[in-house]
Structure 1
Amino acid sequence: MNEAVLAPCDRGIADGKAGAAVAHPRLVLATTILASSLAFVDGSVVNVGLPAIARSFPADAGSLSWVVAAYLLPLSALLLIGGAAGDRYGHRRLLLLGIGLFLAASLLCAAAPGLYWLLAGRILQGVGAAMLMPTSLAILGTSFSGAARGRAIGIWAAIGAAAGAIGPLIGGWLIDLAGWRAIFLLNLPIGAAAMWLGARYVTDRPSANPAPLDWPGACLVTAGLAALTWGLTLASSQQGAPAAAWSIVAVGAVLLALFLRCEQRRGAQAMMPLSLFSSRAFVGLNILTFLLYGALGGMLVLLPYLLIELKGYSATQAGAALLPMPLLIALTAPTMGKLAASFGARLPLTIGPAVVAVGFLLAMRIGAADNYWTATLPAMLTISLGMAGAVAPLTSAVLGAVDARHTGMASGFNSAVARTGGLIATAMSSAILVAHAQQLQSSFHVAMAVCAASAAAASACAFLWLAPKD
């Protein structure tokens, strides 16, 4: 999923924690921005590099889709335990460890002699991102208080969105100039600066009474998502016997069911306390998040591929083609948030995804002979307006659907759900990533129809599951 469109509840992870004065607040803020920018940029830049990677490592559809999925899988599954590990072992320590792992993984990706080495590097990048993302926010939560905390988180979110937005453009330029390996080398100076600042200016200590880490839950959810993603990838790309693919999906479903059972037994010490789901609104909002961000994630993987392979765009042009979306969301989301505060979340969360669905239907007009200004841009602008209307209300609604003690857990879970939606969408779209010519165009149109249906279902979730006052 393109991290230019921030996962809806990343911001809430830092809420509700006691702030403390720090000697160099601006440098602490700079550290968290640089660290999280690693995850934001790599969550978006690889999308425009898929065609070039496919030419370097000729592979089947399932293997190519894993270039994206291998990053999203550990990030989705380990996001919650990454935050808990920071509370237990110290945010500074985990931040530096996460940055170091991310940099080592980036070097592995850049030097990968084959596709499976690249996938190994992407997995390690996802693990590093799962450590540094929640830890960056937790550091903001403990280093600032009151209005200063709100300003710091706002700056963090704005610059993170800008980094994710410009990532495909810079990445495309680097690909055209020096090849796809350069997009991973871009992480090295950013990460080195973040590590130096973090080692010098971030100070903290482990919590006095840390909760035990939920390793059984983390292992089960990771294995379950991996099996589910693998099975759906095989089924989508029509590799092997269909029965084998669906058997793997079934194994993933069983593992996820065991994860829920494990969380039930652990109670309040679970990485995902099931008591959260006693709230009808919380359940509906997370289903909405999965459907909406899954559709968006699938589109942001497939559209650059289509533009490059079918319409002959350079990687730079494909990155630039995506730029209107995060820019429009950044410009209009604050206004949409104010409107949502006046009318409640139900109305914007019903209308916003419905507008996104219309945008996906407009994307079905994109073809080999169509002009960017008359086909691609109108679809992108419509999707952007719909997402702008949904992002801020969704954040507020999720945080308001649970009691104050669970806002951090609820926001972290909602962020993981958003990324899981992109993970599943990537797995299901794997066959499109190796299609060509008319088959690619036809398959893309079918995918956009499915995305439209998913966004429309998200709209229905808001209408049916949220009370009018929400």
Structure 2
Amino acid sequence: MHTSTRGALFSLSLSMLLASLGTSIANVGLPSLVLAFDASFQAVQWVVLAYLLAITAVIVSAGRLGDRLGRRRLLLAGLLLFALACGLCAMAPSLHWLIAARVLQGLGAAIMMAMTLGMVGDTVSKERTGRVMGLLGTLSAVGTAMGPSVGGVLLSLWSWRALFLLGAPLGLLAAALAYRYLPNEPGARAAVPLWSALASPGLRAGLGMSALVSAVMMATFVVGPFYLSRGLGLAPAWMGLVMAVGPCVAAVTGVPAGHLTDRLGSPPMTLLGLAIMAVGALALALAGGLLAYLGALVLLTSGYSLFQAANNTAVMRDVEGPRRGTVSGLLNLSRNIGLIFGASALGAVFAWATPDIIRATPQSVAFGLHTTFAVAVGLILLAGALRHKH
């Protein structure tokens, strides 16, 4: 691989890693923020929510702006904004300041996420698109999974300010690499109407499938801790280890999934990924005991890695240059909508099936898990129907 291509991929990879790390690194600092600002838990939760809401609100607009002004130019602006916002977070004198700075950080992260996927087609050939999509999917999972552990180390070495300061030098490094290695583009272009980008049935199917399977994956993070702690009686440390299995599997399987997509094509790999996910979700709907839960989780996450690499490749590979940022923004938005839907709707299914969670018996919590993932199997089958219909 040429040095400039390697440098470009490193800048895109670091951009994706930083944006994902930002979603989870602050969570571990919430107790410290309660003490530092003498605030309620509900108030400091906005430090996490502000970032996620900012990304969700502007990611499609960021993609469209990149198509109009130039994706390289906008990615540089996003990285610099992210680095500046990290510095503002680290020096925050009040909670309101910190939340406002996290909104800015989320705006920078939205640009980084949209431009990173959007620039794959500008950086590598179509034949290598799948493996790069797999790599970026891996780094997204690794960034989210690393957040609590990296944050814990920083918190023990210094204070909550280190959680945010880390992003400043890394954001500047990514900006320097992007400036040096990413290809230049033509100047301003006419904006592509959003409705025309959504005119393709294949794109609509890809976005719908992305939202549905993201909802299923979110259920493992929402329902999983209750089952592991109250259903199986695991101590917090062991529960944390089991919860880390999913992101670790995603990290290991992402790049091989991309290679398979490049070799065998997106359509069969999308369906295979959904089939493996369906088997994993069905196993969770029937799971009894820790080993069965772990085996089902490994299956579900492996299937998701394969689906994500294949679906992202199918969506992005044939998009013309002037629309890549917009479509990338839509793809990220569909994933975020799926995560929100999974947390709320599938969380509600679990709450309905386990009415009194505080005094629930292990059997009652297990029933809640089984009911939630029985519904999740239905969502995966619906995603398969969308693929088949297309």
Which band: TM-score by shorter chain? 0.7 to 0.9
The aligned amino acid for 1:348 is L
The aligned amino acid for 1:413 is L
The aligned amino acid for 1:297 is M
Residue 99 of structure 2: aligned partner: 119
What are the superposed Cα offsets for residues 145-204 of structure 1, whole Å, 9 maximum, x if unpaired? 565777766655555554444444323433455455433222122112123334455563
SS of corresponding position for 2:237 = coil
Distance 1:127 1:443 in 2: 42
Distance 1:359 1:54 in 2: 40
Residue 275 of structure 2: aligned partner: 351
The aligned amino acid for 2:281 is A
Query: What is the aligned counterpart of 1:182 among 147, 159, 162?
Result: 162
Distance 1:114 1:314 in 2: 35
Unaligned runs of 5+ in 1: 1-21, 213-268, 367-372
Q: Quick check: 1:83 aligned with 2:63?
A: yes
Distance change in 2, residues 1:378/1:193 (3 Å) = same
Distance 1:406 1:424 in 2: 30
Residue 312 of structure 1: aligned partner: 236
CA contact (8 A) 1:307 1:313 kept: no
CA drift of 1:399 comes to 5.4
CA drift of 1:282 comes to 4.5
Distance 2:33 2:141 in 1: 25
The aligned amino acid for 1:132 is M
What are the superposed Cα offsets for residues 355-375 of structure 1, whole Å, 9 maximum, x if unpaired? 342354367x68xxxxxx647
Distance 1:425 1:53 in 2: 27
CA contact (8 A) 2:280 2:299 kept: yes
CA contact (8 A) 1:356 1:383 kept: yes
Distance change in 2, residues 1:125/1:450 (3 Å) = farther
Distance change in 2, residues 1:146/1:381 (3 Å) = closer
Distance change in 2, residues 1:317/1:452 (3 Å) = closer
Residue 96 of structure 1: aligned partner: 76
Greater shift in the superposed pair: 402-411 or 190-199: 402-411
CA contact (8 A) 1:171 1:183 kept: yes
Query: Which structure 2 residues correspond to residues 388-427 of structure 1 after superposition, within 5 A?
Result: 388-398=305-315, 408=324, 409-426=326-343
Greater shift in the superposed pair: 83-92 or 154-163: 154-163
Number of equivalenced pairs: 378
Residue 264 of structure 1: aligned partner: none
Distance change in 2, residues 1:377/1:320 (3 Å) = same
Residue 296 of structure 1: aligned partner: 217
Query: Which structure 2 residues correspond to residues 68-467 of structure 1 after superposition, within 5 A?
Result: 68-112=48-92, 115-145=95-125, 158-159=138-139, 161-178=141-158, 180-202=160-182, 204-207=184-187, 210-212=189-191, 269-270=192-193, 272-273=194-195, 276-277=198-199, 279=201, 282-300=203-221, 303=224, 311-313=235-237, 320=244, 322-330=246-254, 333-334=257-258, 337=261, 341=265, 344=268, 347-348=271-272, 350-358=274-282, 360-361=284-285, 374=291, 377-398=294-315, 408=324, 409-426=326-343, 438=359, 448=369, 451-467=372-388
Residue 10 of structure 2: aligned partner: 30
Unaligned runs of 5+ in 2: none
**TM, length-normalised to structure 1:** 0.62
Distance 2:337 2:88 in 1: 24
User: What's the Cα RMSD here?
Assistant: 4.6
Distance 2:30 2:370 in 1: 23
Query: What is the aligned counterpart of 1:41 among 21, 34, 52?
Result: 21
CA contact (8 A) 1:108 1:118 kept: yes
CA drift of 1:395 comes to 3.1
CA contact (8 A) 1:308 1:315 kept: yes
What are the superposed Cα offsets for residues 230-266 of structure 1, whole Å, 9 maximum, x if unpaired? xxxxxxxxxxxxxxxxxxxxxxxxxxxxxxxxxxxxx
Distance change in 2, residues 1:205/1:348 (3 Å) = closer
Residue 257 of structure 1: aligned partner: none
The aligned amino acid for 1:39 is A
CA contact (8 A) 1:169 1:316 kept: no
Distance 2:261 2:21 in 1: 25
Identity score, percent: 29
**TM, length-normalised to structure 2:** 0.73
CA contact (8 A) 1:175 1:183 kept: yes
The aligned amino acid for 2:213 is L
Distance change in 2, residues 1:154/1:340 (3 Å) = closer
The aligned amino acid for 2:195 is P
